[in-house]
A = this chain, B = another copy of it.
Amino acid sequence: MLYSLAEENYLKAIFKLSEKKPDKVFTNDIASLLDMKAASVTDMLQKLSEKKLIRYVKYRGVSLTPSGKKVALSIIRKHRLWELFLTSKLGFSWDEVHDVAEQLEHIRSEKLVKHLDQFLGKPKFDPHGDPIPDENGNFQLQKVFPLSDAKNTQTITIAGVIDHQPLFLRYLDQCGLSLGKKIKVQGKTGYDKSMNISILHSGQKIFISHDVAKNILVIP
């Protein structure tokens, strides 16, 4: 079963949307994520439905079938492996990898994926802290929570981000915040929920807004 680039992108989009709202995914959500018109999405939904990759009821949204989910996960696996390759082997920074990985994820070669996985040491997480599905589509979920929910004086480790925009990631770089950094909450403002935190290794103290804290994922 080989699927077109467009089909793969739709399946990936549906998967990502159903991660947030686990119920049904709607035409407009897909259209805005893929930056296309709703009418085009309807076209494709009908096609994917015929191929049994999604369950589709007119006007009622869609969900992935097991085979649709399998395709989506294999694309996501490839995307995240390539992102890690780009950062760990080629020296890309985490804000530069997305667009290239978006292309590389569609390269068709089981052997390539297997060997790339081995070359990278069968990694479990990508440069943004997102889990990399294994060849069967299984992945580890870390028990992360947003930094904004951390208690005062709590010590935690940065484990991921919610927002993946280059602008946000570069801002974190500037602040000295990156994956794996241990930080301690030094104070939270009641009014605007902004926080003072310190980076344990460097001792650096920084101030971050609630908006930023909400987009940083941490583990205890």
A residues in contact (CB < 8 Å) with B = 86, 89-92, 96, 99-100, 103-104, 107-109, 111-112, 115-116, 119
B107 touches A100 (CB 8 A): yes
Contacts of A108 in B (CB 8 A): 103
Copies of the protein in its oligomer: 2
Given contacts A91-B115, A100-B109, A103-B109, 15 further A-B contacts (CB under 8 A): A86-B112, A86-B115, A90-B115, A90-B116, A92-B111, A92-B115, A99-B109, A100-B107, A100-B111, A100-B112, A103-B107, A103-B108, A104-B104, A104-B107, A107-B107
A96 to B109, CA, bound (A): 11
A116 to B85, CA, bound (A): 11
User: Chain B nearest CB: distance from A3 CB in Å?
Assistant: 15
Contacts of A92 in B (CB 8 A): 111, 115
Q: Can you identify 13 A-B contacts, CB atoms within 8 angstroms?
A: A89-B119, A90-B112, A90-B116, A92-B111, A96-B111, A99-B109, A100-B107, A100-B109, A100-B111, A103-B107, A103-B108, A103-B109, A104-B104
User: Chain B nearest CB: distance from A81 CB in Å?
Assistant: 12
Contacts of A100 in B (CB 8 A): 107, 109, 111-112
Contacts of A116 in B (CB 8 A): 90
A119 to B85, CA, bound (A): 11
Most chain B beta-carbon neighbours within 10 Å: one of A89, A99, A108, A112: A112
